[in-house]
Amino acid sequence: MPSIRENVLKLLSEIPAGVQVVAAAKAMRAPEVLEAIEAGITMVGENYLQESREVIGAIGARVQWHFIGHVQKNKVRHVVGLFDMVETIDSYDLAVLFDEHARRLGKTMPVLVEVNSGREPQKAGVFPEHVPELIERLAALGNIRVQGLMTMGPFLEDPSGLRPYFRLTREIFDYVGAMGLEGIEMRYLSMGMSDSYHTAIEEGATLIRIGTQIFGPRPGQ
């Protein structure tokens, strides 16, 4: 079985210029994450606050730390203190909490708006038709900075079927960028995971969230 280092080097050699990897480190300990960083990873994504504290504490500011999981409102203060970006903003109320806590810490928090591109009522994320309106409202908040969009897409047996959902999210990304909103920088389009990143890149992803292909199967997979 290839090592984490070998997996990272192979992945980085294959993706096009302009695409960056967020190593999705769910269930990984600091030594595994550090191996990925030493192979060239510059962004690490964490799903769970409690799990991430130990890893971030051990590694520190060598990389950008992205929160890529669902954010509970009572955990916002801690997420703001630990992370460099949040990829899962899906409501104005949640954004206001981030803005308030970022202001108290004297920082500006980069965020991505999570798009529920499959319009699945049981999942987090903003329905596509509501994204521009939400981002217009977020532009008025002084201590968060919208830097793009993130989408998961629905779970499908064949990940190539995600193409229309990625394409829709890219269209929204371009539309919002063309609105010319002050303080809004449509820089990152976070789409695609280990089984779907090829399709996501073809549809315009600039960030891909890769876990299994770097770290191998998680316990229980």
Average pLDDT over all residues of the chain = 96
Predicted confidence band of residue 1 (pLDDT cuts 50, 70, 90): confident
Q: 4-215 domain in CATH 3.20.20.10?
A: yes
Q: Hey, what's the torsion of the CAs at 167, 216, 75, 80, to 10 degrees?
A: -70
Q: What is the mean pLDDT of residues 145-166?
A: 95
- What is the per-residue pLDDT across 161-181, written as a single tens digit (0 to 9) for each? 999 999 999 999 999 999 999
The answer to whether 96 and 122 have CB atoms below 8 angstroms apart is no
- What is the per-residue pLDDT across 32-73, written as a single tens digit (0 to 9) for each? 999 999 999 999 999 999 999 999 999 999 999 999 999 999
Phi–psi pair at 154, nearest 5 degrees: -70, 160
Give the span between the Cα atoms of 69 and 79, in whole angstroms: 11
The answer to whether 104 and 81 have CB atoms below 8 angstroms apart is no
Give the pLDDT confidence score for residue 221 in this predicted structure. Answer: 54
The answer to whether 199 and 184 have CB atoms below 8 angstroms apart is no
Give the pLDDT confidence score for residue 120 in this predicted structure. Answer: 96
Q: What is the mean pLDDT of residues 65-93?
A: 97
- What is the per-residue pLDDT across 99-145, written as a single tens digit (0 to 9) for each? 999 999 999 999 999 999 999 999 999 999 999 999 999 999 999 99
Cβ neighbours of residue 59 under 8 Å, at least 6 residues apart? 30, 33, 34, 37, 44
Give the pLDDT confidence score for residue 220 in this predicted structure. Answer: 58
Give the pLDDT confidence score for residue 174 in this predicted structure. Answer: 98
Burial of 114 (0-12, 13-18, 19+ CB in 10 A): buried
Give the pLDDT confidence score for residue 175 in this predicted structure. Answer: 98
Domains in the chain: boundaries:
4-215
Q: Identity (one letter) of the amino acid at 170?
A: R
Give the pLDDT confidence score for residue 132 in this predicted structure. Answer: 98
Give the pLDDT confidence score for residue 218 in this predicted structure. Answer: 76
